[in-house]
Structure 1
Amino acid sequence: MREQASYLRIADDLRRRIAGQKWASGEQLPSRAALAREFGVSGAIIRRAQEALITDGVLEGRAGSGTYVAEQRKRCRMVRFQATGQAGAGYRGPDLGVLGEGETWEGRSDVMTPAPAEIAARLGVDEGAYCVRTAYEHLVDDKPVYLTTSWEPYDVTKGSLVVLPDGGPLAGAGVVRRMAELGISVTRTQERSEPGTTNAEEANLLGVQRGTPCTRIERTFYSDDGRAVETADIIVPSVLCEIVYELPVSRS
């Protein structure tokens, strides 16, 4: 109990110093040994105090370098359109939204991944049916802002040049454009959103605290014959990004 009280007291002290600008955003803290001498405790207690502040997003650890004050990141705006992919002639991305200047993305595809039960139900395929699973990180100024995991039935794209959403001649062109290459007309998309929080893996990828509030969007694209050709889970942490929809107004 005494050790627990010590590391919490030290964490509170470090938090107050950071709030008071003793160390600026991005600045490295003194070494663990130096802080241990200052507070008259062991290095293990300092480590626990720093870990608590890392979990809270106040500090960030850098392997082989030390502990730093976490940099405050600018909140982005994701603009989503009714006609996905028609946000502008220069836009290329995985059919999600436009973040603006400095926007990039990285993707990694795994071919012939068995579909879990929930994904299979959304795609209308048998559980365990092969899919192409692609994990995206969406970045602004090289820092992740939101995440997407996309699933496409392997039977739809196998043997084609567009089997990999993140590779080939249409890498990053989006579901609508890639499916058109196969003669498939995507005519409808359905989205379902709900509030949630980031789990440990998501928080680690995004550089936020575990349990950070987020919007979870479940999106599915359908062809003109009603077949689901792609479904995706989109995780948008509210501290990093707001979601804005731009929809046309009918004049009739």
Structure 2
Amino acid sequence: MSQAPYLEVAEQIRRRIETGELVAGDRLPGRAELAAQYDTTDAVARRAVQLLITEGLLEASQGAATTVRASAKPERFSRIAGNRSDLPYQADSATGHASEVIAERLGIAVGDPVMRTDYLFMEDRRPAYMAISWEPMALTGTSPIVLPEAGPHRGLGVPARMALIGIIVREAGEVVRARPATPDEGQRLRVNAGSTVLAIETTHKTADGVPVETSDTIVPASRWELSYKLPVEL
């Protein structure tokens, strides 16, 4: 049984990359020209290119040409409980209400007030990764740490900030999933929607297991690999 047309086109482009006919930095033709080159439709050509972007063979920034991606090794993304990124970032905080998913992660009721902070981390003037954090307003709403990235205690990180109001964080648990980037994530990270990202769900808890913060960190899989340091108890 023959392959779907977009898989056949993707295989022909993949073979050109593997044989060196196309090298890192080479620009692919536009969708219409590519479709004519492979005697197919624009839709088939677009789907083939999207597949190769997801595989990490091609890359495309918003509004820019699609090019063959350099085969550089992904950068190391270290995950250590309580550590802070040394990359410059933008942050924007606003009050909101807990969705069903966030309410379950924080152990609060749906609709309870939360402080949401959106982060965009930059490297070489290019978006590196993004994160969204939620904290229950019931814990921090009247305290000097209510705004994570403003005021006298901005930028300390969750454990250090919470300690200032007498809340001791003893656990940071994570769940990592690979999934396609959403259109919003693609726009913010300058990657194609549908390209693979690593979604890291982190929740900070007290020794009694009470959640005090939860976050989603979205990392382009083509640029980063995760590295964990875990404590060992004897």
- Aligned CA distance change for structure 1 residues 180 and 63 (closer, same or farther; 3 Å): closer
How many pairs align? Answer: 230
Match of 1:154 in 2: 137
SS for the counterpart of 1:198 is strand
Uncovered stretches (5+) of structure 2, i.e. residues with no partner: none
Q: What letter is aligned with 2:27?
A: Q
Q: Deviations over 1:64-95 (max 9, x none)?
A: 4422223445323344445x24xxxxxxx3xx
Q: CA RMSD in A?
A: 3.9
| Distance in 1 (alpha carbons) for counterparts of 2:138 and 2:205 | 16
Query: Is contact 1:145–1:236 with CA below 8 Å preserved after alignment?
Result: yes
* Contact preservation (8 Å) 2:59, 2:69: yes
Q: Unaligned 5+ residue runs, structure 1?
A: 86-92
**What letter is aligned with 1:197?**
A
Deviation at 1:129, TM superposition (A): 0.5
Other-structure match for 2:173: 191
2:126 and 2:10 map into 1 onto residues whose CA distance is 27
- Matches of residues 67-82 of structure 1 in structure 2 within 5 Å? 67-81=66-80
Q: Which residue of 2 aligns with 1:131?
A: 114
For 1:32 and 1:121, the matched residues in 2 are separated by 44
Q: What letter is aligned with 1:148? A: A
Distance in 1 of aligned mates of 2:32 and 2:174: 50
Name the residue aligned to 2:212.
Answer: 229
2:167 alignment partner AA:
S
Q: Which has the larger radius of gyration?
A: 1
Q: How does 1:170-189 map to 2 (within 5 A)?
A: 170-181=153-164, 183-189=165-171
- Report Cα offsets for 1:18-73 as digits up to 9, x if no partner: 22232322332234454455445555554443344334433233444422223445
Which residue number corresponds to residue 13 of structure 2? 14
Distance in 2 separating the partners of 1:28 and 1:153 = 47
Structure 2 SS opposite 1:107: strand
- Measure the CA separation in 1 of the matches of 2:59 and 2:166: 46
